Structure 1
Amino acid sequence: MSTAVSYRIRPVAPEAHLFEVSVTVAQPAAGGQVLRLPAWIPGSYMIREFARHIVAIRAESCSKAVALSKLDKHSWQAAPVKGALTVHYTVYAFDLSVRGAYLDGERGFYNGTSVFLQADGFENEPCEVDILPPEDKALARWQVATSLPALECKKSGFGRYRAANYDELIDHPVELGEFERISFKACGVPHEFVVSGKYQADLKRLAADTKRICEWQIRFFGEPAPFERYVFMLFVGGDIYGGLEHRASTALVASRDDLPQHGEAGINDGYLKLLGLISHEYFHTWNVKRMKPAAFTPYDLNREGHTTLLWAFEGITSYYDDLALVRCGLIDEKRYLGLLAKTITGVARGNGRTKQTLADSSFDAWSKYYRQDENSPNSIVSYYTKGSLAALALDLHIRKHSRGEKSLDTVMQALWQKWLADGQGLAEDEWERVAEQVTGLKLGKFFDMAIRSTRELPLAELLATQGVEMQLVPADNASDGGSLVDEIVPPAVRPTLGVKTASDALGVKLSAVLDGGAAQAAGLSGGDVLIAVNGVRVSDLDKALRRYRVGDKLKLHVFRRDELLSFRVTLQGTPADTCRLRLEENGGSWIKA
């Protein structure tokens, strides 16, 4: 056997969503080898307990059965053996997200955290994996796409791959099936876009636009790129969206309607959303896959890894994802400011921003951000969206006080050079110390305000220094999420219940009831299904409320679980929580800087 640990994986029953996996340890621990499956996957900060999907497991050595003892929810220990130990197990895979594993008759996909048991004591040893094709002849045209270094593979991609250690093994997801590939080079580095699912699209344009994003980001941090090749894996379906970064690849899911179509010249909102996702995950190649908190160095995938720095690694990435689209020439400043207005609006509409700091949001991601409920808008703030606004505020603050000589770009590039020099994770206070060192500014008060308090970010003041006027006004209508305008004219105040809604077969589901709103004051709760307003059935709440004025008293009928309840509510006016931005002549120069 050429390596200390080797794996085999095969899709054995697509109709039942089952992968068959084995791991062989050449020289297992004398006291009995322990093997365990990760409890979470880097980049998604929630305990997911992947081991719950192992439906059968057994061990053998020298063709004889070996006893396995369960140690905890994701660990097993084999009885001591003298020869090599092999553990065979079956994994149920039916998670369509980018975080787990999926298998049916159309495609397969897996992250190593979902399928590869870690052999304790061998975490830093090289390992090999043999990716085997399905035995079903109907799937004979299936291929493999992965950024994992290949050892000996067929043209289809099935065959043996090698990883330097377990951490690398689980950081290269694998796509299986019949899919389209399109290749390009960015700054001389081979890139591949693999698209699966049912769709019609202009993949040449997708590759060309992605290349522009990649080249800008590589040059932003400095050539050469920190990988030899890169693979985008995109599955398209219905109403889906998400991505997860890896060291030399990213897994994406998106709506098929968001793909660019043949003959389309512009960038519609759906395609813009997809390009922003691509930009976000690719930026993570530097910011979190390599530069990362010390709490993730190394990852302990058995338990939560708490850090107050997710605002810096996710929020700053969220700032640069759209900014990169301007700087690489895909959109202009006005389109960018329209996106920014929507982000500002989204944060302003969450009362959680007045209760949770960005540092706490980062630390509590495991129990709050990734486990949201109907009260989350009232209790938490997103380290993604508010984090991106904190990054904007920091960028403009540095530019203002350094008279344009320094910026957030300066900080990010210095952090990258630091990582290249020492490869170390950042201590909890180190990000801020580096920012002060490279800018020459005292930033403690700024970080206390932006990261460790719930005070409002001074965005209007800072944007004004860049020739951008900002105001918060009442929304025009229910679909008004903020915008760039030629002139800021506050609209008339409309009546509102103070709720977030979702569609429901019976009426309108109140997905959240906001603090201080009319619905909360009347006693309604998140999860209630509103079926009638003043005795008239309701399916469109915004339309129903147009008949009334602020201060009107209404009778509402709702279902709470299976009980019909009625409430008296006094309508309030829409709050000033919708962002309007206006670009002055020659303003917004930092966007393309």
Structure 2
Amino acid sequence: MNPTRYAIVPKHPAAHLFEVTLTLADPDPAGQRFTLPTWIPGSYMVREFARNIVTLSAFNEAGRTVKIEKTDKQTWQAAPVKGGTLILRYEVYAWDMSVRAAHLDDTVGFFNGTSVFLLPAGREQAACVVDIQKPAGAAYADWRVATALPEARGTKRYGFGEYRAQDYDELVDHPVTLGRFELATFKAHGVPHDIVIAGRTVRVDIDRLAADLKRICEAQIALFEPRTKKAPVERYVFMTQAVSDGYGGLEHRASTALICNRSDLPVQGRPEMSEGYRTYLGLCSHEYFHTWNVKRIKPAAFAPYDLSRENYTSLLWLFEGFTSYYDDLMLVRSGAISEADYYALLGKTVGGVLRCSGRLKQSVAESSFDAWVKYYRQDENSPNAIVSYYQKGSLVALAFDLAIRARTEHRKSLDDVMRLLWQRYGRQFYNGKMAGVGEDEVEALIAEATGVELGPLFSDAVHGTRDLPLEALFEPFAIALEPQPGNGKNGQGAADAKRDGKPSLGARVRGGAECVLAAVHDGSAAQKAGLSAGDVLIAVDGLRVTGSNLDTLLSRYLPGAAVEVHAFRRDELRVVRVKLDGPEVTRYKLIAVEAKRGAPARRARERWLQG
């Protein structure tokens, strides 16, 4: 079978149009069918990428038009071409500044293969060659190419030219950045890792970033391969688009596409660890951990992916949740952040889960299965209806890790579970052994790896809706879990903060000139008074409310006070009496209680946090 050949060029950057040419030397003699994926792995929502194809035509090698018709939302059928080559040429509109699709303007280009490369039916296993071409004009003379796709002979790294893939799955699993970008390279256990930062930036300390990522990557490689320290890739690329306001990441087999606030990147001459930079490192750590956990260790439902429709699994709590546990844990194990920083991050996650009543209605297994219709399509009632398999999944991992460590006196841990998953399912995944983890295998795999039967803890954590017994699980480590109202004073105890903290409506507000309720929590003061998401608050006790002054107005009252609220619902004015709630608990504080268990507890924490 001849390779499937693609050529892609930023044809009209100002109009945000890529032009793609697809050439088949041996099309189906009965007529070739073409499809474009409807979703991209790692982002579990049908996104209908075919809607961005603006024009499409087909012709033979002599330039004569070949009839081609669209047969459904993502499929085209070409007429037979007798004994010759079939060529498709089409334009793709690219104006999605995210990590999921494609973006193009006169400053930068970016694309995922799932957005731009049509798949000829029956050629999923055929080799692919893609010619990435430079846009025309002197303004683009210094543009470069960043991708983890292997270069074909004659193409220089970071240069325009031909790149190759063993099959279509590999082709679309390597995003591409085009344009001007900062570049640095470091080696993690001997494997080159590139850092690419596109977008306008100021004095980024890329050397510091490289040093921090090197430590994080080496810690993760050693977790999965403690003896050989062998990375699962020959080269890896962190590609980041820096913007004024954005956050996100998407994993790929040898790279990750990231988007961040430019202010989150480290600044030359400022060695402090800012909250934004810590968040960015956590994002990098998360996507890098996926190199093992979900790109190679997969649920059986993803082995292989079917990109034409939803692929359901109840195991995203394992693949996304466990990754969300290890992303910050690897920051502290590598020395990138302090133990205190890690406790703060963990406390924020605990608060995020416990703040939303959806955790009492949906299990993480159900959340995983419903990702396609609930998690990725959230509405104003989502905090009251769903639980995040990312956030609660990370706490499930924490609970399992602490339980295993305590029951085995630290001879075993969740690390052993991840290594067993890697050895059995991941290490040879792209070498012909494409097996995935079964929906009901995980509990037995944990017992096999550690000798610990988690029993009711596993059932409750994965399939139940009761809160995790974190206080009891922390007890052998002498860690106290203390609620921290979000607007209480620093250093206060929970009781003092609750008494002295500002009252609340129990609702999330969209800021701006108007004070719009974005979400109203179950059982809150706002809900009891009859307020709903979408209502626009205009006055509290006769004083005007905006999106920025609500907290200031409420700070004049004590919890339990009754206030008169004027609000518009659509075009109807409503007047309600609201009995204010106490301050909301937005995060929890983890405190090491040294006097409680002394040296044994301190050693337990060290083994947990140092690996």
Provide the TM-score with structure 2 as the length reference: 0.93
Aligned partner of 1:103 in structure 2 is 104
Q: Does 1:527 align with 2:534?
A: yes
User: Which secondary structure does the structure 1 equivalent of 2:110 belong to?
Assistant: strand
**Structure 1 contact 486–582 (Cα < 8 Å) conserved:** no
Give deviations 1:214-250, integer Å, cap 9, x for gaps. 1111111113111110111011011111110100000
Aligned partner of 1:113 in structure 2 is 114
Aligned partner of 1:349 in structure 2 is 355
Q: Does 1:464 align with 2:467?
A: no
User: Which secondary structure does the structure 2 equivalent of 1:496 belong to?
Assistant: coil
Aligned partner of 1:148 in structure 2 is 149
For residues 156 and 449 of structure 2, the distance between their equivalents in structure 1, rounded to whole angstroms, comes to 49
Aligned partner of 1:509 in structure 2 is 516
Amino acid at match of 2:224: F
For residues 474 and 277 of structure 2, the distance between their equivalents in structure 1, rounded to whole angstroms, comes to 27
Give deviations 1:47-96, integer Å, cap 9, x for gaps. 00000000000111131111112111011010111111111100000000
Aligned partner of 1:306 in structure 2 is 312
Q: Does 1:233 align with 2:239?
A: yes
Amino acid at match of 2:470: L
Aligned partner of 1:365 in structure 2 is 371
* One of 434, 437, 448 as aligned partner of 2:448: 437
For residues 197 and 583 of structure 2, the distance between their equivalents in structure 1, rounded to whole angstroms, comes to 43
User: Which secondary structure does the structure 2 equivalent of 1:492 belong to?
Assistant: helix
Residues 288-303 of structure 1: matches in 2 within 5 Å? 288-303=294-309
Amino acid at match of 2:222: R
Post-superposition offset of 1:182:
0.6
Aligned partner of 1:137 in structure 2 is 138
Amino acid at match of 1:96: M
Structure 1, unpaired ranges of 5+: none
Aligned partner of 2:506 in structure 1 is 498
User: Which secondary structure does the structure 2 equivalent of 1:306 belong to?
Assistant: coil
Aligned residues: 586
**Structure 2 contact 147–158 (Cα < 8 Å) conserved:** no
User: Which secondary structure does the structure 1 equivalent of 2:477 belong to?
Assistant: coil
For residues 188 and 79 of structure 1, the distance between their equivalents in structure 2, rounded to whole angstroms, comes to 51
**Structure 2 contact 221–230 (Cα < 8 Å) conserved:** yes
Amino acid at match of 2:346: L
Structure 2, unpaired ranges of 5+: none
Give deviations 1:121-154, integer Å, cap 9, x for gaps. 0001111000011012211111100000100325
Cα RMSD after superposing both structures: 1.7
Residues 159-238 of structure 1: matches in 2 within 5 Å? 159-200=161-202, 201-222=204-225, 223-238=229-244
User: Which secondary structure does the structure 2 equivalent of 1:352 belong to?
Assistant: helix
**Structure 1 contact 71–77 (Cα < 8 Å) conserved:** yes
Distance change in 2, residues 1:221/1:156 (3 Å) = closer
For residues 474 and 266 of structure 1, the distance between their equivalents in structure 2, rounded to whole angstroms, comes to 27
**Structure 1 contact 475–491 (Cα < 8 Å) conserved:** no
Residues 553-568 of structure 1: matches in 2 within 5 Å? 553-568=562-577
Distance change in 2, residues 1:577/1:16 (3 Å) = closer
Aligned partner of 2:75 in structure 1 is 75
User: Which secondary structure does the structure 2 equivalent of 1:305 belong to?
Assistant: coil
**Structure 2 contact 242–260 (Cα < 8 Å) conserved:** yes
* One of 330, 335, 340 as aligned partner of 2:336: 330
For residues 303 and 51 of structure 1, the distance between their equivalents in structure 2, rounded to whole angstroms, comes to 13
Aligned partner of 2:66 in structure 1 is 66
Amino acid at match of 2:180: E
User: Which secondary structure does the structure 1 equivalent of 2:374 belong to?
Assistant: helix
Distance change in 2, residues 1:178/1:78 (3 Å) = same
For residues 106 and 256 of structure 1, the distance between their equivalents in structure 2, rounded to whole angstroms, comes to 16
User: Which secondary structure does the structure 2 equivalent of 1:567 belong to?
Assistant: strand
Give deviations 1:8-37, integer Å, cap 9, x for gaps. 100010100000001112211122111000
Q: Does 1:592 align with 2:610?
A: yes
**Structure 1 contact 488–581 (Cα < 8 Å) conserved:** no
Residues 410-449 of structure 1: matches in 2 within 5 Å? 410-419=416-425, 420=427, 422-449=433-460
* One of 271, 276, 279 as aligned partner of 2:282: 276
Give deviations 1:516-564, integer Å, cap 9, x for gaps. 0111111111122212111101232221111122332222122333443
Q: Does 1:570 align with 2:571?
A: no
For residues 78 and 300 of structure 1, the distance between their equivalents in structure 2, rounded to whole angstroms, comes to 22
Amino acid at match of 1:498: G
User: Which secondary structure does the structure 2 equivalent of 1:251 belong to?
Assistant: strand
Aligned partner of 1:89 in structure 2 is 90
**Structure 2 contact 566–574 (Cα < 8 Å) conserved:** yes
Post-superposition offset of 1:486:
9.7
**Structure 1 contact 142–156 (Cα < 8 Å) conserved:** no
Post-superposition offset of 1:205:
0.6
For residues 511 and 398 of structure 1, the distance between their equivalents in structure 2, rounded to whole angstroms, comes to 40
Residues 389-400 of structure 1: matches in 2 within 5 Å? 389-400=395-406
Post-superposition offset of 1:472:
3.0
Aligned partner of 2:543 in structure 1 is 536
User: Which secondary structure does the structure 2 equivalent of 1:455 belong to?
Assistant: coil
For residues 484 and 163 of structure 2, the distance between their equivalents in structure 1, rounded to whole angstroms, comes to 56
Distance change in 2, residues 1:411/1:240 (3 Å) = same
Distance change in 2, residues 1:156/1:306 (3 Å) = closer
Distance change in 2, residues 1:329/1:575 (3 Å) = closer
Post-superposition offset of 1:566:
2.4
**Structure 2 contact 92–116 (Cα < 8 Å) conserved:** yes
Amino acid at match of 1:55: V
Distance change in 2, residues 1:488/1:519 (3 Å) = closer
Residues 12-91 of structure 1: matches in 2 within 5 Å? 12-62=11-61, 63-82=63-82, 83-91=84-92
